[in-house]
Amino acid sequence: MKQFITAIVSLGLVIAPLRGQTPTENLDLSQAETFALANQPSMLAAQLRAKSIAERVKQARSGYMPMVNFNATGAQIADTGSATAAGTLATSALSGRFSYGGNLTQLVTDFGRTSALVNTARYGAEAQNDFTTLTRAQVRLNVRSAYYQVLGAEAVLRAADAAFANRQLISRQITALAQSELRSSLDVNFAKVLESEAELAVVRARSTVAQERSRLATAMGQDHPITAALVDASSTGKVLPLALDDLLHQAATQRADLSASQAQRKAAESFAASEKRLIYPTLNVMGAAGQLPYHDHTLHDDYAALGFNLNIPIFNGGLFAARRNEAELEAKARAQDVHQLHLQVNEEVRDSWYRADEAYRSLDVSARLVAQSKEALRLAQDRYEAGLGSIVELNEAQLNETSAEITAADATYTYLTRCAQLDYAAGLLN
């Protein structure tokens, strides 16, 4: 018993953060996604909507079931020859009375129209389930993109801080040399300008970090900005994306919106079949039974009747034909919608793959750019200290090195963001 209680408490500690509070110390990507799926209003709304649409299947199936109603009817005085009783089936003529009873209606056949309506509702529920899956993928994509954007912004902030510290150091060195009359005041002014630019870059980077954390909170369904430290994901996922043909095949089979569109097409086809069968006869069996606790002495104490009704449509001004034509045209339009969406998905996968491939190839280039800019800055500093280079040359080298650092810091998370977009396009985030 003690172990069972301990297990329940531990389970509660695991589940509790999912429903209300985010971790306050460290937050990794999987935790962020789990929290978002449990708290994002769009996800919760999609789940509720799927349950709502599923009730339509029960509504359609109710056509197979018998319909039973209870009735109570009273009449103080009835004219001679009148006929009234509880329900829709009338007994023989009666006078003042009170009666109660029930009537039953059971469908025998409508030549498959109810079956077609059930299939329509079932395919509609499948489409809504697919839309729920699509919402799940969108939530995961939004969280991943926001998560990587935060990490990228923080990496840029670290690079900006490092550049600012370096500019401050060089500015102090040049100021000290100028005080010893070894450098001119122009050099000091150039150094101060670059120091101020570096400080401005830090201010902007901090603002960007705050904005990206706010976007992450929105993606996770959180009211307040995320303050937890994010676990760095830059060491994972640095592999070239799968072949384009493989991703196109996966998208064709796994994209939830494609599945939903196909389910909607099937629903439209089933509804067209049901509308076509409106012109067929409908056969129902009906029965009624009850008692008359207060009645004329000429009547019995109870009544019962059994019958059938065969309804054969003859002419209704072309109503059924127009409904059938409308449903068939809608089904054909749905088929074209599926084809159009398939083309759009293929284009989205190709575009995402090319963007991810570009970002992947940029990783090595940005790394080399950082190494080259650092070496160029070292040489520029050596030349300046030796009196062979100008302050303009040194400032340009500093700017290039800072730009390369920021580009490299952002490159990794740009690649991871584009990989997430590619996963979504291929249906891998369902």
Give, for all 430 residues of the chain, the pLDDT tens digit: 334 334 433 434 333 444 556 656 789 999 999 999 999 999 999 999 999 999 999 999 999 999 999 988 776 654 555 555 555 555 555 456 678 889 999 999 999 999 999 999 999 999 999 999 999 999 999 999 999 999 999 988 988 888 888 888 888 878 887 787 777 777 788 788 888 888 898 999 999 999 999 999 999 999 888 889 998 876 655 677 678 899 999 999 999 999 999 999 999 999 999 999 999 999 999 999 988 887 666 667 788 899 999 999 999 999 999 999 999 999 999 999 999 999 999 999 999 999 999 999 888 888 888 888 888 888 888 887 777 777 778 777 878 888 888 888 888 899 999 999 999 999 999 8
Specify the pLDDT at position 295: 65
In terms of Cβ atoms closer than 10 Å to its own Cβ (0-12, 13-18, 19+), residue 134 is: buried
Specify the pLDDT at position 251: 93
In terms of Cβ atoms closer than 10 Å to its own Cβ (0-12, 13-18, 19+), residue 140 is: buried
In terms of Cβ atoms closer than 10 Å to its own Cβ (0-12, 13-18, 19+), residue 342 is: middle
CA atoms in the 13 A half-sphere facing the CB of 33: 15
Q: Which residues contact 427 (CB under 8 A, 6 or more apart)?
A: 137, 250, 251, 253, 254, 255, 256, 258
Extract long-range pairs of 367-370: CB within 8 Å, 24+ residues apart: 367/408, 369/404, 369/407, 369/408, 370/401, 370/404, 370/405, 370/407, 370/408
Query: How far apart, in whole angstroms, are the C-alpha atoms of residue 285 and residue 388?
Result: 108
Specify the pLDDT at position 299: 67
Q: Mind listing the domains of the chain with CATH numbers?
A: 24-425 (1.20.1600.10)
3-state SS assignment for residue 232: coil
Specify the pLDDT at position 84: 52
- H helices of 237-390, in order, are 244-254, 256-276, 319-385
Rg of the chain in Å (alpha carbons): 37
Specify the pLDDT at position 2: 39
Structure tokens belonging to residue 111:
């030549």
* Count of beta carbons in the 10 Å neighbourhood of residue 5: 9
Specify the pLDDT at position 77: 54
Specify the pLDDT at position 236: 56
Helices and strands, number each (H, E), in the chain: 9, 6
Number of residues that this document lists for the chain: 430
Of 241, 248, 245, whose CA–CA distance to 349 is shortest? Answer: 248
Specify the pLDDT at position 296: 66
* Count of beta carbons in the 10 Å neighbourhood of residue 168: 15
Extract long-range pairs of 49-53: CB within 8 Å, 24+ residues apart: 49/128, 49/131, 49/132, 50/125, 50/128, 50/129, 50/131, 50/132, 53/124, 53/125, 53/128
Of 205, 209, 204, whose CA–CA distance to 146 is shortest? Answer: 209
Specify the pLDDT at position 346: 96
Contact 57, 127 (CB under 8 A): no
Contact 256, 72 (CB under 8 A): no
Specify the pLDDT at position 396: 79
